[in-house]
Amino acid sequence: MRQETINRIRKFRDERDWNQFHTPSNMAKSIVIESGELLECFQWSEDDYDLQHVKEELADILVYCQDMIDCLNLDADEIVNMKMDLNEAKYPIDKAKGNSTKYDKL
Amino acid sequence: MRQETINRIRKFRDERDWNQFHTPSNMAKSIVIESGELLECFQWSEDDYDLQHVKEELADILVYCQDMIDCLNLDADEIVNMKMDLNEAKYPIDKAKGNSTKYDKL
Amino acid sequence: MRQETINRIRKFRDERDWNQFHTPSNMAKSIVIESGELLECFQWSEDDYDLQHVKEELADILVYCQDMIDCLNLDADEIVNMKMDLNEAKYPIDKAKGNSTKYDKL
Amino acid sequence: MRQETINRIRKFRDERDWNQFHTPSNMAKSIVIESGELLECFQWSEDDYDLQHVKEELADILVYCQDMIDCLNLDADEIVNMKMDLNEAKYPIDKAKGNSTKYDKL
């Protein structure tokens, strides 16, 4: 996300005094709640989904992820790169190529 | 996320031929699965959590969100701004300030 | 579940002094965490799942549901029948037959 | 649940021809979706929840668990007792008493 978009999320939260509700635990709950709503778009069919609804639910998750990053003072690029280091080690290309098997079964 | 980080996620996926598994439905499932793992960090306590574990699970969610954005050809800034338009209308400052009540009960 | 199975769940919990952790909120978190693990059995394929793993995760959910019923002093039959009354009203047979559409779109 | 309640769930499903939608994968998705709705009752507060709403969401989970048990031809008592055997081995009383630590850290 662009800095401008991140700033909008922060301004929205600050103007409503919602930082008080944004504990890490509440953010984790919120992300899973919104993820369930995203999954609901695919509850009965993999292919026949309402794209506008999908966009809204995915956006809700992105907003709560940003809120969680903020309330823990994290940096998105830093944590993603740290995790990608781990993922690259867990899923070597030669073993994982074309294969959806979980790393502990590879 | 910076473009460089997004490129790393895409390269990781492409090198492993994983685009074939990245349907919107599978991505929605993956996001909710990782969100459950994030919540597990707070299962028995709100305050006593393993920060490194939280970072890893939150990063997993960010990676799958990027994968979903890619497989649907979306733009993160566009969908978040579209949703923030809706949120700002649903939660007017004067009603929502300091209040965690859901919009349909405001 | 038979009374004997319910008693076993309660004895397991009591012997470990775990009632102190079984708040309604912690039970709700636990149910969604286990549900994510159940879904993980179907993350990349609808059909190719490990039945033993599915049984274990589904059993975990049933155990936590019983724990939640207990910590709220509920009766499974009563709440399910109450909800089936609502479901029968929301999904009249003539409209819902052979149709997975959600009630608010029926 | 009493046999009578289970029969009501089955009759509801059969009368609407919904067995066609009740694949194991769809049931797993449905359980996690409803679990997210249950968790939403506790999103911003652990203590200030709407009991009627909690009952309805918990009942939804119980109904989908029964549907999943049925579509896989399982027996609730059998799988729960199988899992309780595992849990009793993973959480010996002397180590787990009064302790919410996960078995792999005990």
For residues D106 and D104, give the distance between their C-alpha atoms in angstroms, rounded to a whole number: 6
Q: Does B74 touch chain A (CB under 8 A)?
A: yes
Return d(Cα B11, Cα A91) in angstroms, integer: 13
What is the distance between the alpha carbons of residues A50 and D62, in angstroms, rounded to a whole number? 28
Question: ipTM > 0.90?
Answer: yes
Question: Considering CB atoms only, which of A31, A55, A83 is closest to B63?
Answer: A83
Give the integer Cα–Cα distance in Å for B55 and D48: 29
Residue D44 forms contact with A (CB below 8 Å) = yes
Binning pLDDT at 50, 70 and 90, where does residue A58 land?
Answer: very high
Rounded Cα distance, C89 and C95, in Å: 11
Distance CA B1, CA B16 (A): 22
Helices (H), chain C: 3-15, 24-40, 51-71, 76-90, 93-96
Give tens-digit pLDDT for C51-84.
Answer: 999 999 999 999 999 999 999 999 999 999 999 9
Banded pLDDT at C105 (limits 50, 70, 90)? confident
Cβ(D77)–Cβ(C6) below 8 Å:
no
Task: Give, rounded to a whole angstrom, the gap between the first and last alpha carbons of chain D.
Answer: 34
Tokens of B95: 């009603």
Cβ proximity of B10 and B22 under 8 Å: no
Task: Name C48's Cβ contacts closer than 8 Å, sequence gap at least 6.
Answer: none
Distance of CA D18 to the CA centre of its chain: 20
Identify the pLDDT of residue C64.
98
The arithmetic mean of pLDDT across residues D32-51, rounded, is 97
- Whole-prediction pTM: 0.97
B26, B33, B39 member nearest C29 (Cβ): B39
Closest chain A C-alpha to D35 CA, distance in angstroms: 8
Residue D100 in tokens? 């919410």
Question: pLDDT at residue D106 above 90?
Answer: no
- pLDDT of D37 above 90: yes
Predicted confidence band at B105 (pLDDT cuts at 50, 70, 90)? confident
Chain B residues close to A41, C-beta within 8 Å:
28
Mean pLDDT, chain D, as a whole number?
Answer: 96
- Please, are residues C39 and D32 in contact by the beta-carbon 8 Å criterion? yes
B3 Cβ under 8 Å from any chain D Cβ = no
Q: Calculate mean pLDDT across residues C2-9.
A: 98
CB-based contact D6:D69 (threshold 8 Å): no
pLDDT at B40: 98
Secondary structure (DSSP) of C7-33:
HHHHHHHHHTT-GGG--HHHHHHHHHH
